[in-house]
Structure 1
Amino acid sequence: MPDETDLLVLRKGTHGTPIEQYAETLRERLPDRTVELARTPTAERELIEDARFVTGMTLEEELLEAAPDLEVFACAYAGTGHLPLDRLRERGVAVTNASGVHGPNMGEHVLGAILHFTRRFHVAERRQRRREWRHYKAHELQGSTVTIVGLGAIGRATAERLEPFDVETIGVRYTPEKGGPTDEVVGFEDEPFEDALARTDYLVLACPLTDLTRGLIDRETMITLDPEAVIVNVARGPVVDTDALVDALRSGWIRGASLDVTDPEPLPEDHPLWNFGNVQITPHNAGQTPRYYERLADIVVENVRRFDEGSDELRNQVVP
């Protein structure tokens, strides 16, 4: 990579949006810096040899070993579990993520899913396909209780968008003493969490996948929920026990589910979840937004400037 290159962009894009848009956005935001796009595997291997600051969706360990001068990797995803984090730590490479980028669009996705089930648009869609003019009963969101598991950027954005609807909100987080934008905040302890579930009309999952949250929404959880409750999952598929969810839908333990993520994922063509009329499935699409690269660039540009100034504190830093 030429000596004057300040930022290297790796070739993988996301959400079907060309990576060139990301590189161009960074160039516009950093007119006094040189932004290089490695558009091919060969270019990545060659350009990363002298790179100090790199951004991209992923960084394979083989490519990392070809970057002896790397000091910062700005991951373009909110999650970093796919990265060789142990090796990055050993190398002393600072890692940042894209936390916060998805807040607005995923908050809107959750709100849309809730309104979909509140006004039962799935019933209307079926009757429209049949050209059947027949009334059906719907619900009101006002007065409902919405429990949001995870109060990161997505959970907070969801709570903010629910404010005008006159609902009660319960937030669930690891450290409830920190509070949050919801009317009430509880932890994952058995009794407080179970009590929240028993009062829930809409259960929104917006938490990271951890040992604690894997299988969190299991058979006992679904039995605890009110039969009129709806589950909205924009977290990760394994947060929900899929077999238990299928049983819950078949047995009428819950009213329905909106799933942007599934376990397994992609959902196999022959999976029973496809056939439920009260299940809304989107293909891990809640993160889609035309402003993804723009919001990501906000984080990266700030960190480029901090890096140039010799700061040890980077925005969204997950590995010191």
Structure 2
Amino acid sequence: MTKSIVCLQPLSSQQQERIRAAAPGYTLTLANAKAPDLQLLAEAEIIIGWAKGIGETLLRPESPLRWVQTWSAGIEKLPLERFKERGILLTNASGVHAEPISAVIFGFILMFTRNLHTAMRNQLNRRWHSDGQESELTGKTAVIAGTGAIGSETARIAKAFRMKTLGISRSGQPVADFDQVMTTAELDKAVSQGDFIINTLPITDETEQLFDANIFSAFKQGSYYINIGRGATTNTEALIAALNSGQLRGAGLDVFETEPLPEDHPLWNMEQVIITPHSAGTTDYYAERVVDIFTDSLEAYLDSGTPSRNLVDYARQY
């Protein structure tokens, strides 16, 4: 019986050929995530992507499904417990976003540092004005929560601006381009040193509401908060309170507890806040990078039965 790979995302003909070349003996079929063919999925050993309404078909006892490669870095919306019970291998798209998201992070940082967000608002009103508060990044400290692919790329770029870099991770282990890495338990001490606090964290039981009123109260007065990780890692009311009190001078936000952000939400009217619509990871290189990750892992899977890149630890939820 021919083994089957089904991809629920569009791929170019060249990308399809790369997968077929890496998996002799397998068929590759593209499916529509919005109207998936359940009969086709029922025969798949490997799924690329995921969609609503396919779980009951793919997770039945007799399903041949062995491996799911997600199209995103986040996995919180997947039926993780059922995957774990079935022994299904799960790999995510971590690493795909490092370049576009780090560019957005520095877009926020540079806008705040040079008051470009204010200049854009002034332009709309044809107002020629500067309050003389423009600064620069040399000697500033970036505290980066999460030292994975996005955090590491952000730290590398920060070094080009002669910034100091302080990382936060579960282990506190040293990582290239970070002057120091502290543990999550030391988050309050770390944020007190930062001019820019950058949240790149996934959502897990440990990170949910991690940035709360206690943590914001530990921020350096007049610092900036940037969140491109997950909205639920941050208590929005505590964030707004910190912005209103001046504890935070500004915030660059790509993710929110509720998405889309409601039209009547107070964050929209805060001039010290820059909002993007959860688009920081969007890039025209996205599919190519997912295929890179998948084909690398596919070689290891065919050789040993286990993908080599981005294998999710169900206990850690990433």
Look up the equivalent residue of 2:48 and give its one-letter code.
T
RMSD: 2.1
1:36 aligns with 2:32: no
Displacement after TM superposition at 1:109 (Å)? 0.9
Seen in structure 2, the aligned counterparts of structure 1 residues 141 and 38 have a Cα distance that, compared at 3 Å, is same
CA distance in 2, matches of 1:319, 1:193: 23
1:224 corresponds, among 218, 234, 256, to 218
Q: Secondary structure at the match of 1:35?
A: strand
Quote the residue 1:165 is aligned against. 161
Quote the residue 1:46 is aligned against. 39
1:126 corresponds, among 121, 146, 158, to 121
Quote the residue 1:175 is aligned against. 171
Quote the residue 1:135 is aligned against. 130
Q: TM-score, normalised by structure 1?
A: 0.89
Displacement after TM superposition at 1:50 (Å)? 1.8
Show CA shifts across 1:132-191 (max 9, x none). 1223321111110110001111111111111110111100110013444311111122xx
Displacement after TM superposition at 1:61 (Å)? 2.0
Matches within 5 A, 1:1-320: 3-4=1-2, 6-10=4-8, 19-20=9-10, 22=11, 24-32=13-21, 33=24, 34-39=27-32, 44-58=37-51, 60-65=54-59, 68-137=63-132, 138-189=134-185, 192-318=186-312
Q: TM-score, normalised by structure 2?
A: 0.89
CA distance in 2, matches of 1:209, 1:100: 16
Displacement after TM superposition at 1:313 (Å)? 4.4
Contact 1:206–1:233 (Cα < 8 Å) also in 2: yes
Q: Secondary structure at the match of 1:126?
A: helix
Q: Secondary structure at the match of 1:182?
A: coil
CA distance in 2, matches of 1:265, 1:248: 21
Farther off after superposition, 110-119 or 127-136: 127-136
CA distance in 2, matches of 1:305, 1:88: 22
CA distance in 2, matches of 1:42, 1:106: 30
Q: Secondary structure at the match of 1:68?
A: coil
Seen in structure 2, the aligned counterparts of structure 1 residues 245 and 303 have a Cα distance that, compared at 3 Å, is same
Q: Which runs of 5+ in 1 are unaligned?
A: 11-18
Q: Which runs of 5+ in 2 are unaligned?
A: none
Contact 2:144–2:199 (Cα < 8 Å) also in 1: yes
CA distance in 2, matches of 1:158, 1:179: 12
Look up the equivalent residue of 1:211 and give its one-letter code.
D
Seen in structure 2, the aligned counterparts of structure 1 residues 270 and 42 have a Cα distance that, compared at 3 Å, is closer
Quote the residue 1:15 is aligned against. none
Show CA shifts across 1:84-136 (max 9, x none). 12222222221111111111111111111111100111110111111112233
Q: Secondary structure at the match of 1:47?
A: helix
Contact 2:228–2:253 (Cα < 8 Å) also in 1: yes
Contact 2:57–2:63 (Cα < 8 Å) also in 1: no
